[in-house]
Amino acid sequence: MLETSGRLLKLLSLLQSHRDFSGAELAERLGVSRRTLRRDVERLRELGYPVHATQGTAGYRLGAGAELPPLLLDDEAIAVVIGLRTSADSSVAGIEEFSLRALTKLEQVLPSRLRHRVDALHQATVRAGAAPAPKVSATTLMAIAEARRRRERLRFDYASPRHGHGVRTVEPHSLVSFGRHWYLVAWDTDRTDWRTFRVDRLTPRTTTGPRFTPRALPDGGDVATYLARRLSARTWPFQATVTLHEPATAVADRVWPGMGLLEPVDDDSCVLHLGADTPRDLAWMITSVDTDFTLTRGPPELREALHDLANRCLSGLRYGR
């Protein structure tokens, strides 16, 4: 839904330039097929926008009186805002400027009840790395953000890949857009400890309280650092620490979100903490940083995997002569 809503708003922005567009040009700008473009045009018409077909050019023009329809559904408006906020953090050239421009226009015309909900989501969200895939429900994100704003405990059903389904009760701290997923960082009242949850695996129950006093997060309160540490070490069956023989600033762009936690040491080195499902994955991740390294800590299987990788590379050189 987020992807479609964001595309509709981009189509509307193009049409509002008050010029005629051919169908081929619009489809190319949106990166969709002509068939998808026709469906999007019909959707705009259903929402009340007078999109007219032009004669002779097989194109489209936005008619007079094309203001934002007042009957936009709450969840639909919120989904558009979430999609635009996500796009504003995208690495795709040109998307950021459009998204911020469209987001500003949309938030100016949102009813006050929606503006407060959107603001609650904005205050709850921390960006760390690339924009996530739009696989979570806007309703779920808003339920978490609202519970955080009201400082009410949140109960939800959670499908854990290791522990199965269960009901969790937490004090929500932050929503984090990290790597390709949304995460909830929260204090788990049953386990009396901090926990992280994939938002696409949880289903909120009706919030009834009780209220809570916000707690101080570990790692100096930096939620992105805390989450990176959790994802790179504590949740993986195989963990390792390597010293990279370059400064952290030089290798930071080669360590993607969720891969590991990078810690500066001095002007010539840094330390990378990382985890993976298998020793071979660890070996690949370490060598993908493309710098000299020293294995500081790791399981014996990792040493074997690194030896196997080195021998495979040497064998390839021999066979290539």
- Looking at residue 26, its pLDDT comes to 86
Output the CA–CA distances (angstroms, integers) from residue 52 to 33, 44, 160, in the order listed. 19, 11, 49
Q: What are phi and psi of 198, to 5 degrees?
A: -70, 125
**The two three-digit tokens of residue 62, written as one number:** 């936005």
Each residue's pLDDT tens digit, 205-243: 876 678 999 999 886 778 877 887 777 655 678 889 999
73 pLDDT exceeds 60?
no
**The two three-digit tokens of residue 89, written as one number:** 């953090």
Q: Check the CA dihedral 70-71-75-80 and report its sign.
A: negative
- Looking at residue 1, its pLDDT comes to 41
- Looking at residue 172, its pLDDT comes to 94
- Looking at residue 58, its pLDDT comes to 66
pTM: 0.53
- Looking at residue 86, its pLDDT comes to 59
Residue of higher predicted confidence among 3 and 215: 215
Indicate the pLDDT class of residue 107, thresholds 50, 70 and 90.
low
Each residue's pLDDT tens digit, 40-61: 888 888 776 778 887 655 688 7
Each residue's pLDDT tens digit, 259-306: 778 889 999 999 998 888 889 999 999 999 999 999 999 999 999 999
Q: How many CB atoms lie within 10 A of CB 56?
A: 6
Each residue's pLDDT tens digit, 135-158: 677 788 888 988 998 899 999 999
